[in-house]
Amino acid sequence: MVRFTHPHLFYLFIPFAVFLIWNWITRRNQNKRIEQIGTPSIRQFLFNRILFNRINLKYILIFLGTTFLILSSVGPQIGTRLTELKRKGVDVVIVLDTSTSMDAVDVKPSRMEKAKYELSRLINNLKGDRVGLVVFAGTAHLHMPLTTDYGAARLFLNSIDTKTVSSQGTNFQDAIKLALDNVDAEDNKYKVVVLVSDGEDHQGGISDLAEDARQNQIIIHTLGVGTTGGGPIPVSDAQGNQVFKKDGSGRIITTQLNDAVLNEIAVTTGGKYIRIENQANAIGPLLDELDNMEKRDMKTHVFSQYEDRYGVFLLLAGLCFLIEFLITTRSSKEITWQGRFSR
């Protein structure tokens, strides 16, 4: 396998080829003019100390050296090598509520968009930790397994909206159970779950599951997105116009942040509850908690990557230019004229 770091530099061969053509034409014309000077014996005497073969060799070395120099500049990467990657970190499973109430606009631009923005900042601040994503509403689904590919994690996070899970509701129990099932049982103290919701638990039964997490030394941090005053939920009517969700009596539904259930989960498991409203740096306290956690040596990964080979071509170019510099084009022997002049 071969690839190039800067393939656009191959265009340098175009002016180099133009120069070679011009040089070849110029040298051919010079040779024709030399052949018109006197007889062969006279030319041999006049140019007896010039070594034309060595001049041609110097041209070839300059050509090769320039070619190797351009090949070095494009950054050739040939073959692969094995690299061991060691890291320290924890496993972070993000559990994100995708129920319709997360579309409420009491937090700008909406609870869901604010949550995704803060979680994106969380992912950006991870260093060696693995991160996974669980989404839930009426049911829970593993949206992304644990990974250290933070770019992929951000893509998965950005793809989430309140239509990701078709079954509506807020089923904390299934969500947390799925999150706990997707962390290794070994070394649970290096595991953390981040639950992001507005706290509207429609199923109940969360206390027992939080207690199970505490007994397994798994910390659950909770992020409550919304305000206690609440806000309406925008929906689209039959004509596609944006209106607010209403109840059976035609009154606009206002959904409020439920601090109590989220705070209970955090306190039971030894985690931190953070309310996310419209403030800046809302997730700062959680970042501090993760930074202060004890890190463990994660499993060493062995992977292959392309090996840079530009140095080989750079060395060859240097050798060509050095040899060209050392080659002399004049002979130490001088021919004595053996003929005579006639009157």
Flag whether pLDDT at 156 surpasses 90.
yes
Which tens digits make up the pLDDT trace of 63-92? 999 999 999 999 888 776 666 666 677 889
Whether 336 maps to a domain, the answer reads no
pLDDT confidence tier of residue 342, bands split at 50, 70 and 90:
very low
Whether 337 maps to a domain, the answer reads no
Flag whether pLDDT at 341 surpasses 50.
no
Whether 208 maps to a domain, the answer reads yes
Whether 338 maps to a domain, the answer reads no
Same domain, 152 and 68: no
Q: Which domain holds residue 47?
A: 2-81+305-326
Same domain, 219 and 260: yes
Same domain, 145 and 245: yes
DSSP 204-234: --HHHHHHHHHHTT-EEEEEEES-TT-EE-E
Q: How far is CA 164 from CA 49, 68, 144, 240, 294, in A?
A: 85, 54, 13, 20, 34
**Helices 172-181, 206-215: crossing angle, 10 deg rounding:** 20
pLDDT confidence tier of residue 336, bands split at 50, 70 and 90:
low
Same domain, 118 and 210: yes
Same domain, 154 and 243: yes
Which tens digits make up the pLDDT trace of 291-308? 887 666 655 555 566 778
Q: How many domains in the chain?
A: 2
Give the pLDDT confidence score for residue 299 in this predicted structure: 58
Same domain, 152 and 10: no
> What does pLDDT average to over the chain?
82
Same domain, 113 and 64: no
Same domain, 132 and 28: no
Same domain, 234 and 165: yes
Same domain, 172 and 318: no
Which tens digits make up the pLDDT trace of 11-54? 999 999 999 999 889 888 887 887 777 677 766 666 676 777 88
Same domain, 32 and 149: no
Which tens digits make up the pLDDT trace of 97-143? 998 889 898 898 999 999 999 999 999 988 878 899 999 988 899 99
Whether 339 maps to a domain, the answer reads no
Give the pLDDT confidence score for residue 343 in this predicted structure: 44
- Token match 């953070």: residue? 274
